[in-house]
Chains A and B, each alone.
Chain A
């Protein structure tokens, strides 16, 4: 139920005073409400749950996580 899927913001507009956008989920495009991420820009990645963006995805944090886990892997190879 708390499923939330990453997608890329294609455009941003207002409908009936709601901040909305079209989101690309790897080829499938759906509309979502962006009210909770007023700082969103076109091209940002966001995480969508029941038609609402819950947050933007932080690219730097994603890279750091992958680098951290890669470091574990490299350590394995050295050992």
Chain B
């Protein structure tokens, strides 16, 4: 397949690795923000090809993992209502709430459907005028335009039986939070390529300047990831901290304007709670007041939620790059993909799940 095979070429991988080895003179800690990149790194064993001096730590860029427990519990409460068809991207169905997950609600006889696209959820609302269709609108900047479009489309069709349970997160505020922490270890970032496809990378320049960290926009194939690491290492070794683009076939400086416009039309910025981390100021989006009729939280009384997290789980520290999955006592013991205790084991893109799946053990 064009644009995949060339960027998985073993000769290129091996040569970029050699160049990284030649360029690295001391220890560096680099964080890949995106869970998709964590998954690729583990799948292709890139972490094991890099010199020991380079430590990759895995960031909070998995929206399934960081959706707050309160929001999961709200989803479970709404999905349990008999008049509701609850629709969601597949990844969310097995995320544990305080009691059970969406699969267990479905097993109790409720109508819960996996959709590929937010537009499919709108279609279900069209076909079921006597039901209220709720779409679980989660995701980073990558997914926000699609979710926003579902609202515009439902409005265009005049649908009154469609609404969103919104839990959106944004990358740059999380980077500020990580870099501003007194415990921060991260010296350079691989920025999330598909977030930047939508938003561009102009937002990262003030972050690089404020904290003196290089930030490199990076794709998802093995060659892309290694190119991102090479560019980051060169900046670190030169003591420079520019923002560079190692995914230029897809990402532009400005990003995709039509996609940004629809986000701005439908959503407004808000504080957001991240599972395992807590509230990060300005790190979310919610529906604008003029779209309140599409807000599931307004249509259902779901305020009395008292979430209970596992006391064993250290996912908050893992998401900030402070602890490795293999250093958690519960890893692969009490906590595994079948019975996840917290954020980073629930989704296949979570760092703990990736370590488990690809056999990174103690």
Contacts and interface: CB of A to CB of B under 8 A. Distances in A.
A69 interface: yes
B349 A1 contact: yes
Interface string A49-64: 1111011011101101
Contacts of A1: 35-36, 62-64, 89, 91, 138-140, 142-143, 347, 349
Contacts of B227: 65, 69
Given A47-B250, A49-B194, A57-B250, A69 B12 contact: yes
Interface stretch (B115-123, B298-306, B309-317, B328-336): B115-123
Given A6-B4, A47-B197, A55 B250 contact: yes
Contact of B1 (A25, A66, A73): A25
Given A1-B347, A33-B117, A50-B143, A8 B2 contact: yes
B153 interface: yes
Contact of A65 (B4, B119, B145, B249): B249
A11 B142 CA distance: 24
Interface in A1-52: 1-4, 6, 8, 16-18, 25-26, 33, 35-38, 45, 47, 49-52
A30 B134 CA distance: 24
Contacts of A6: 1-4
A18 B117 CA distance: 14
A50 to B, nearest CB: 5
A73 to B, nearest CB: 4
Contact of A4 (B153, B156, B197): B197
Contact of A57 (B143, B153, B194, B249): B249
A58 B119 contact: no
Given A1-B347, A2-B192, A57-B250, A50 B1 contact: no
Contacts of B64: 1
A16 B157 contact: yes
A51 B146 contact: yes
B117 A50 contact: yes
A50 B250 contact: no
B142 A4 contact: yes
Contact of A73 (B4, B11, B35, B91): B11
Interface in B140-170: 140, 142-143, 145-146, 149, 153, 156-157
A18 B262 CA distance: 14
B153 A18 contact: yes
Contact of A49 (B11, B120, B143, B246): B143
25 contacts: A1-B62, A1-B142, A2-B36, A2-B63, A3-B194, A3-B220, A18-B119, A25-B1, A36-B262, A37-B258, A45-B2, A45-B3, A49-B194, A50-B139, A54-B256, A54-B259, A57-B3, A58-B248, A58-B250, A62-B249, A66-B6, A69-B227, A70-B12, A72-B15, A73-B15
Interface of B: 1-4, 6, 11-12, 15-16, 18-19, 34-36, 61-64, 89, 91, 116-120, 138-140, 142-143, 145-146, 149, 153, 156-157, 192, 194-195, 197-198, 220, 223, 227, 246, 248-252, 256, 258-259, 262, 347, 349
Report, nearest first, the 5 A-B pairs whose CB atoms are least far apart: A51-B117, A26-B1, A62-B249, A73-B15, A6-B3
